[in-house]
């Protein structure tokens, strides 16, 4: 967890002191993120993105010119899966709840008011719970990995220099399940987040004057 603490300190340092970015010629930019995940798990026979959870944290990027940025985020992210109306009772699971600390390292490309993003994330499992189709807690019977990796891609639309709306898709590369049996579980999630960028925010195109 030392790397998580180090990145968390790094993000807080720049988020709390926006004047640092000014002194460095706007090289760095910090943002706060707040929103929700809808999630499912491939392999658990539950259909649909029925599991809701929080997604919140901080981001710092290094600005590599007008269009390109790169940098880490540190997030609290809740994922998992849940039985829904479209399930046919074929699954042995009713609900899987996963709480993680997530550290994505993302690359961003900005054009007009839109920023596209892609990268990989390290996830550290905080805790999890598995409820089977009979309503029993079977968490102890199915060990999950403490360390996970996923791929992420998304887009942000900036309505103003400071405020934006972010959509992000993610999928696990590593298997959630830690034992050697034939059960393979890989999470997927859709994230919907508000983005607040500190300081002057993003440079947006000026509105076209009305003639």
pTM, whole model, 2 decimals? 0.85
Tokens 């054009």 locate to: 111
CA 159, 165, 167, 173 torsion-angle sign:
positive
Residue 19: pLDDT band (50, 70, 90) is very low
The 10s digit of each residue's pLDDT in 62-111 is: 998 889 999 999 999 999 999 977 666 678 899 999 999 999 999 999 99
Residue 197: pLDDT band (50, 70, 90) is very high
Residue 55: pLDDT band (50, 70, 90) is very high
Distance, CA of 201 to CA of 47 (rounded, Å):
40
CA 188, 190, 193, 195 torsion-angle sign:
positive
Residue 149: other Cβ atoms inside 10 A: 12
Average pLDDT, the chain: 87
More confident residue, 31 or 1: 31
2-197: which CATH topology?
A: Porin (2.40.160)
């Amino acid at each position: 967890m030392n790397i998580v603490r180090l990145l968390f300190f790094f993000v807080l340092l720049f988020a709390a002191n926006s004047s640092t970015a000014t002194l460095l010629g706007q090289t760095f930019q910090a943002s706060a993120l707040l929103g929700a995940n809808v999630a499912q798990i491939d392999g658990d026979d539950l259909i649909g993105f029925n599991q809701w959870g929080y997604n919140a944290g901080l981001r710092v990027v290094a600005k590599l010119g007008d269009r390109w940025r790169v940098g880490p985020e540190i997030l609290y992210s809740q994922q998992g899966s849940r039985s829904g109306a479209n399930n046919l009772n074929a699954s042995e699971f009713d609900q899987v709840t996963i709480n993680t600390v997530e550290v994505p390292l993302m690359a961003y490309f900005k054009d007009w008011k839109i920023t596209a993003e892609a990268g990989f994330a390290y996830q550290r499992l905080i805790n999890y719970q598995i409820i089977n189709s009979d309503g029993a807690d079977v968490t102890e019977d199915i060990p999950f990995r403490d360390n996970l990796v996923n791929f992420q891609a998304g887009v942000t639309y900036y309505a103003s220099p400071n405020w934006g709306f972010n959509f992000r898709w993610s999928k696990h590369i590593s298997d959630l399940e830690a034992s050697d049996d034939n059960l393979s579980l890989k999470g997927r999630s859709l994230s919907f987040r508000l983005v607040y960028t500190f300081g002057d925010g993003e440079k947006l195109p000026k509105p076209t004057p009305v003639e």
